[in-house]
A and B are shown apart, each in its own frame.
Chain A
Amino acid sequence: MNQDLRRRARIRSLLALGVSATLALTATACGDSGTEAGSEGDGKGKIVFWDNNGGVRTDVWKKIIAEFEKENPDIDVEYVGIPIADVQSKYDTAIQGGGDSLPDVGMVGTAYLANMVAQGALEPVTDRIEDSSLKGKLVKGMVDSVEAAGGQDGELFTVPTSANQGVLWYRTDLFDKAGLEPPTTWENFYKAAEELTDKKNNRFGFTIRGGAGSIAQALEMMYAQSGIDSFWDGDKTTVNAPENVKALEKYAALYNKVTPKADLNNDFTKMVATFTGGEVGMLQHNLGSYTDHVKAFGEEKIDGLPMPPSEDGGPRTMVSNPVDGLGLFKAGKNKAAAWKFIEFAASAEMNSLWNESAGAIPAHTDAADDEWIGKAKPTKTAMESLDDPDTRIVQLPYYLPDWNSISKADTEPNFQKLLLGQMTAKEFADDLAKRLDAAQAEWKEQMG
């Protein structure tokens, strides 16, 4: 009896195993059959669009999509908003998971563009731009940035839509009250930072970014003060050049002298909250936080200036900020419709609408003179400084596949050590330079 029961149990187990395996194989077969990944399609049907700044930009994208669907009733766009902090992981997981879960169109920033190009996820769009209404209508600086970030000469992997720029935000009311000049020079900046600080009353001249994202901002401050206009000198980075080290020393010395002590862990959220929530005179961030400042203080109490020139009256030196763009995915099943959407979203009218909502610099040249730009003073000033032929742009090496890990996980803890005085500016810069030089050499080797 017992033996009989055991035999039956064994048979049941084997049957269950067999059924499971069959189901799994059937499901696998279903998943792989019938897809038309990579096809041009007939320019109709459904396309999926991933927004890399979901939530914050949802409303404006829904407007653009509604306009597009009105003009193209045969195309249905599904909007998917991805949180910005995790967009790279989401793209990477979908790529590693076979690629057929990727969207048809996605917003892609230059900070992680090289990584996606290296994995073969994106289709080049250079020829499509040439054959479209976008030909000759995209800001050259942004096109150059996208080309450099993609890491393949002469090839664009996204259609640039907007750029950001580092801004020194300052409270005009606090400056007026203290009788201070706006931070148009470095001397004015450091003087105001000291004079606006009154630690006993919890007032500070500046708030520094000591946590996530600290490196890009530190580089911006270093190059703007040193005036060094190239990230590379041959195969070696200029990050640890003596002028940059000196600038970094001055910048890091601000911590806990004219900034709150809690700034050590500031990511941009906390830094902006510190600025908007307290009596802090200045903040270095990009154009993107303009709406937060206006919401907190009103337009009359806040102003933004580009980084001051290294010498009074001299040219400005600015580091390249990530450029956002629309990418066409190789695995897309309906590329013709997807490209129609990209062309529409990057058109002057839609590009202007998007950038007005984001407070960023439009990529379409015809959007540059739109009315809203005249009203958004910091955006206008930023555009003027970018258009200034004397302005020098230091292109950060976004094309390095290791750029994100070097400038974040590898180096951010060192920056905190620097702020705490546990590391010197030279030690910090030398360590960063060593990592960058190695990554550059590796990249060059891979590219042949």
Chain B
Amino acid sequence: MTAALAEKGAHVPAPADGETPPPVEGRTRRRRPADQPPRWQIFLPLGLYLLFTLIPFYWMLLFALRPAGSTSLVPWPVTFEHFEKVWNERSFGTYFLNSTYVGIASMVMTTVVALAGGYALARFRFRLKNAFMLALLCSQFIPGALMLVPLFETFRNLQLINSVWSVIIAETVFQLPLSMILISGFIKNVPESLEEAAWVDGCSRIRAFLAIVLPMLRPGLIAVGSFAFVHSWNHFLFALMFLSSQDKQTIPVGLNTLIGADSVDLGALAAGGVVAAVPVVIIFAFIQKWLITGFSAGAVKG
């Protein structure tokens, strides 16, 4: 602390060996630097924003945990009847497993293919590379709904309609452009000389990539993988259109079936929302450090 104060120009007598340093002019708290705003000016807007963000979640928990017909603003007495209903009667147990399967498969496929494509973009020079990058970016402007009928026909011809693989492939394809661009950014961060050193030591390009580059891409892989998982987990359109059998449907479709033509079971809908949100919240809680590092690292390198 004395060092910090000394840096700011305050007069601090040097303590003798073994002596406790005297308090600075009777104050023990660090002074706020003059160029920083007061704490309340930072925390008040952040607090309000947090409240604004959390209220819908509270509302969801409230409806999920209070009995049907209750108008209480606190979830008391707590009931789990809505969770029981969606999990057992509305087949959310099956939807959950399907969503997990689709999410993990899309995540693995997206990450593996994006790694290969991203490496090529980062390390190789080839004709029309910039045009290819531009095409990847432009593909992000195409909404999935626009491709629905052509994709449907393609999967029908491949006999993949009503197979979860249609959803996995479609999700992977739609997520690849952004994932490849991000991964290429991460790979550019890894000095090429490290790979070259490995080559000199006798490694092949693939071995050098696996042994040297890949371990350094951990934040990037976590960012891209989690992004792919969450996107697949939440995506509704492809699952609705390509899958018909009840036992193959995913959670977003299941959630929509809780909204009827003229009536809606808000308790069940909220419980379904909690079931859908919990895995995503847990994933983000564990990986947020790598996620932010990963995205910022991938974003700054062109």
Contact = CB atoms under 8 A, between A and B. Distances in A.
Contact of B156 (A85, A98, A296): A98
Interface stretch (A24-32, A113-121, A408-416): A24-32
A83 B257 contact: yes
Nearest to B258: A55
A352 interface: no
Contacts of B266: 273
A27 B158 contact: yes
B231 interface: no
A84 B158 contact: no
B263 A24 contact: no
Interface in B256-291: 256-266
Contacts of A313: none
Interface stretch (A86-94, A122-130, A144-152, A436-444): A86-94
Contact of B246 (A31, A80, A89, A94): A80
Contacts of B41: none
A83 B262 contact: no
Interface residues of B, number: 33
A97 interface: yes
B282 to A, nearest CB: 26
A101 B244 contact: yes
Contacts, number: 112
B218 to A, nearest CB: 32
B244 A269 contact: no
B69 A80 contact: no
A295 B265 CA distance: 10
Interface in A267-303: 268-269, 272-273, 276-278, 285-292, 295-297
B262 A80 contact: no
Interface in A284-335: 285-292, 295-297
A85 B256 contact: yes
Contacts of B264: 268-269, 272-273, 292
Contacts of B148: 93
Contacts of A52: 261
A83 B253 contact: yes
B149 A83 contact: no
Nearest to B160: A27
Contacts of A288: 260-263
B246 A97 contact: no
Contacts of B69: 276, 295-297
A54 B257 contact: yes
Contacts of B158: 24, 27, 31
Contacts of B156: 31, 97-98, 100-101
A292 B256 contact: no
B152 interface: yes
Contact of A53 (B162, B253, B254, B261): B261
Interface in B208-267: 240-241, 244-246, 253-254, 256-266
A24 B258 CA distance: 38
Interface string B156-179: 111101100000000000000000
B246 A79 contact: yes
B269 to A, nearest CB: 9
A57 interface: yes
A59 interface: yes
Contacts of A295: 68-69
Contacts of B265: 56, 292
B71 interface: yes
29 contacts: A27-B159, A31-B157, A31-B159, A50-B244, A53-B261, A55-B90, A55-B256, A55-B257, A55-B259, A56-B259, A56-B260, A59-B89, A80-B245, A83-B257, A84-B259, A85-B256, A85-B259, A86-B240, A89-B241, A101-B162, A103-B244, A268-B264, A269-B264, A273-B264, A276-B69, A285-B262, A288-B263, A291-B263, A296-B69
Given A55-B260, A97-B161, 19 more contacts: A31-B159, A48-B244, A56-B260, A58-B90, A82-B257, A84-B261, A85-B259, A86-B240, A93-B148, A93-B149, A94-B152, A97-B149, A97-B152, A97-B153, A278-B71, A285-B262, A287-B262, A288-B262, A295-B69
